[in-house]
Amino acid sequence: SGTILAEAAMIACNIPPNLMRKEFAFERWPDWDVDLFETIEESLLNKTRDFHHKMIGYDKAPSAVAKAKENIKNAHLDEFITIKQEDFFKTKKEGEEKLHMVFNPPYGERLELMDMEAFYGDIGTTLKHGYPNTEAWFITSDLESLKHVGLRPSRKIKVFNGKLEARLVKYEMYAGSRKAKKMNRED
């Protein structure tokens, strides 16, 4: 639905949450002070900042792409974010600059049953061979399938996604091997 992208763009630009909301319940309170609210809103808007990077999101499913595009447009963030229909397993990193990737692979909770262990293994293979110089983060509650990524995480953070215990996991991709990268730094 584009939630991770929308929230990342809002954080990057320091855009206040709910900025585009049409109405708040507190506006019906008897002591509602519209002038104070407008002062606070203007103050927050003055703290927004420019963002000069590209944010790209993609999904294999046309329905997910359409919903994400709609949500990004409704949040007025389409100048910062591009949504495409792509199969991650058929992609490679474009350019040499460092890439930061965040994704939310299926947990097996909402989608039809699939071979989750093979799926997570394919994620690791795609990252390793197609995304050098990349920091890849993903969140999952499928802790068993996570073991099949085939990469060593540089960081694991226990979180909850709703009621599900999950992990926010970071993988660092290098051109060549991590060992070779480390040896080059020591020279």
- Tens digit of each residue's pLDDT (9 = 90 or more) over 92-109: 998 888 999 998 887 655
Question: Across-strand partners of 170?
Answer: 137, 155
Report, as an integer, the average pLDDT of 82-90: 93
In this predicted structure, the answer to whether residue 19 has a pLDDT above a threshold of 80 is: no
From the list 83, 76, 12, 18, the residue with the least C-alpha distance to 50 is: 12
Which pLDDT does position 177 carry in this prediction? 59
Predicted confidence band of residue 180 (pLDDT cuts 50, 70, 90): low
- Computed from CA positions of residues 178, 182, 183, 184, in that sequence, does the dihedral angle turn out positive or negative? positive
pTM of the full structure: 0.76
In this predicted structure, the answer to whether residue 170 has a pLDDT above a threshold of 80 is: yes
Contact present, 141 and 104 (Cβ < 8 Å):
no
Which pLDDT does position 53 carry in this prediction? 84
Which pLDDT does position 178 carry in this prediction? 57
Which residue type sits at 96?
A: E
Predicted confidence band of residue 113 (pLDDT cuts 50, 70, 90): low
In this predicted structure, the answer to whether residue 12 has a pLDDT above a threshold of 70 is: yes
In this predicted structure, the answer to whether residue 157 has a pLDDT above a threshold of 90 is: yes
- Computed from CA positions of residues 63, 68, 69, 70, in that sequence, does the dihedral angle turn out positive or negative? positive
Percent pLDDT > 70 in the chain is 90
Model pLDDT for residues 56-76, shown as the tens digit of each residue:
998 888 999 999 999 999 888
Question: Which residues fall within 8 angstroms of residue 52, CB to CB, at 6 or more apart?
Answer: none
Contact present, 101 and 131 (Cβ < 8 Å):
yes
Cα distances (angstroms) measured from residue 123 to each of 6, 89, 91, 106, 131: 23, 7, 11, 11, 11
Which residue has 């420019």 as its token pair? 50
Predicted confidence band of residue 122 (pLDDT cuts 50, 70, 90): very high
Helices (H), 104-164: 116-130, 143-146
